[in-house]
Structure formats: structure tokens, C-alpha cells
Amino acid sequence: MVELEGIILHIGSFLVIAGIYAIINVGLNVHYGHTGLFNIGIAAFFALGAYTASILVMPPPNPDLYQQYEWGGNLAFTLGSERIGFDLWFPLVLIAAAAVCAAVAYLVGSITIRLRGDYLAITTLGLGEAVRLVFTNEGWLADGTRGLNGIPRVLDGLVDPHWYDFVFLPLVLIVLVVVYFLSQRLAASPWGRVILAIRENEDTAEMVGKNVFQFKLQAFAYGAALMGIGGALYAFAKHSITPQAFEPFFATFIIWAMLILGGSGNHRGAILGAFVLWAVISSSQFLPGFLGDPNLRLAVIGLIIVVVLLVRPAGIVPETRTRT
């Protein structure tokens, strides 16, 4: 009975985290799969979304607990269920996290988005590390390496904390569905067709009168906003965050592997890739002996990518190209 309960709890946790990764992966697909922007700075927007949400809902710090950070928005109390009957802060915080990430992406992109290929990749990689190091070293902002603990949870108190994932899961799936259909509509719109044209040949797109710089900047901001939403959901799911959670392996490499596995240029593939790869990673802890060693995860992920590229170079769900 205990083992069955553990399996059920693991499934709930798996679905929540996989759903969050799927949302972030849709954002990456907007960047790379649709616009051709080689972004390796996913960790920057992942972390910004998580910390923005956490700071807004956390209560002011308690000096008796040796907390270094200086303030908390306390929205979970002022707009929480105890005051108004519903956790109104939850959608507002998601919007705020998306807005902060979009604004940062727009600001950084206005300087760097003209770079192509490897140069943009190096720049965004530096951005990701810079954001993580800021949260690591600036204790006044989010308590440095100790991070933020006891982050308020939406609809908390409805069930035993052990079963909270099954309360949070429907919210994650609702956000994922909204993100998917919104991104699909944008991809099918005139705006979406322009960014696809930019991906194929931005010089040609510019020759026919399209403002390539502005379209790339808009796509960069939109994809970053989705990553920020994923970061906010991650903070609520984990109930605590530290800068170590946004190191390149979990906040960049895995997400790129998910996109390659599922299929770049296709939002369905991006979502499927997130669920499939996270299933492999999360289930590895149940393998016996040395097979369950976390150090083998990187090798396993690399092997999966190689096999997929050999068997299905375009991913599990390849992009469907339409003739115009």
C-alpha cells in the first residue's frame, strides 16, 4: 500500500514538472523552431519568472531567521483566499512574471538580436549565467544561495501537502493548454508566417519590406514570457527555489534536448518531447544499482538524442511544412 502511494505521488509530481517544462519548451520552440533564434539563455528567463513570482507573493522577511532579502510583496495574503475568497494573486503573478521576462528580453534583444547563429547563442548563454549569479551573490534580492523557502501555494490547504501536486496539476495543464492554443493561433497568423519566413531566409523577408529586427524582437519577447510563466509555476510547485535550481543542466540543456527529441518547429512535438524526456529522467531513480546513478543521466540523454537524430532527424513529431 505504501509503495502504491509512493508511485501515485511520483506520477503527480512527474506530470506537474513535465507540464511546466512543456510550457518552457513551447517558448523555446517560438525562439528556435519558428524564428531561428539560437537561445541558450533559457535559464535567465526561467529564473526571472520563478524569482519574480516568489518575491511578489512572499511575506516580508523575518530577521530572526537570518534572512538577507529586504522585502516581499505579500500578494498571497493581500489577495489570497483568506481575504477575498479566492487566490486572485495567482493569475496576476503569472502575468507579472511573463511581463518581467518579456521586458528583459526586449531590452536585451534590442542590443543583441541582430547577432546571428553562434554569436547570439554565446550572448544568451552569458545572460543566463549572469542572472543566476546575480541571484546567487545579491543576498538582499532573494537571500542568496539559501534562496526563498515557504513560497505560498495557490489553493493550499485543500488537501494534505503530500497530495498537493494533484491540486496544482489541473492549473498547470490549463496554463499549458492556453499557451499551446495561443501559440498555435499566432503561428497561423500573418505574424507567425512572417517569423517563419525570417527563419527560412531573413534577407529575403527584409527585401519584401518586413521589419526583420522588430519581428525577431517580438518573437524573442513572447518566447521569454512563456519561459517566465513556466518559471513561476515551477516556484509554486517546488515551494522553494535556490539559484542552484537554474544551473545549465536542468534549466537549459534538458530543455534543448526535449525540443530536439519532440521536434523543432512543431508545438505538439515540443510538448511531447518534454513529457517523454522527463519521464526518462524522473524514472531513472527507480533503476537498480549503478543504473540509477544521477551521473548517468547526462549520458543517457545524450544517447537518446543521438538515436533520435539517427532514426528521426526531425524529431518524434516533425514539423509539417505547407506549400504557399
Distance between CA 11 and CA 161 in Å, rounded? 15
**Statement: the pTM of the whole predicted model exceeds 0.75:** yes
Structural domain contains residue 276: yes
With left for phi above 0 and alpha for psi between -120 and 50, is residue 67 left, alpha or beta? beta
Cell for 23? Answer: 510550457
Structural domain contains residue 316: no
Supply φ then ψ for residue 67, to 5 degrees.
-90, 135
205 neighbors 194 (Cβ within 8 angstroms): yes
Structural domain contains residue 324: no
Distance between CA 259 and CA 140 in Å, rounded? 36
Under DSSP, is residue 229 helix (H, G, I), strand (E, B) or coil?
helix
Structural domain contains residue 238: yes
Average pLDDT by stretches of 10, the chain with 324 residues:
74 95 97 94 96 88 67 66 57 94 95 85 92 90 87 78 88 97 95 93 88 95 98 94 90 93 93 93 72 70 81 84 57
- Count how many residues are written for the chain: 324
pLDDT at 216: 95
Structural domain contains residue 292: yes
Distance between CA 147 and CA 131 in Å, rounded? 14
With a CB cutoff of 8 Å and minimum separation 6, the contacts of 37 are 31, 113, 120, 216, 219, 220, 223
pLDDT 10s digits, 182-241: 999 999 999 999 999 999 888 889 888 899 999 999 999 999 999 999 999 999 999 999
Q: To the nearest 5 percent, what fractions of the chain are helix, strand and coil? A: 75, 0, 25
Distance between CA 106 and CA 307 in Å, rounded? 36
Distance between CA 172 and CA 230 in Å, rounded? 9
Q: Cα torsion for 293, 4, 18, 72, to the nearest 10°? A: -100
Q: How many domains in the chain?
A: 1
Under DSSP, is residue 116 helix (H, G, I), strand (E, B) or coil?
coil
pLDDT at 296: 74
Distance between CA 292 and CA 79 in Å, rounded? 43
Give residue 254's domain range. Answer: 2-311
Distance between CA 145 and CA 219 in Å, rounded? 32
CATH of the domain at 247: 1.10.3470
With a CB cutoff of 8 Å and minimum separation 6, the contacts of 57 are 72, 73, 74, 75, 76, 89, 93, 151, 152
pLDDT at 160: 77
pLDDT at 24: 98
Structural domain contains residue 153: yes
Structural domain contains residue 61: yes
Distance between CA 299 and CA 295 in Å, rounded? 8
Axis crossing angle, helix 2-28 with helix 42-57, rounded to the nearest 10: 120
Structural domain contains residue 317: no
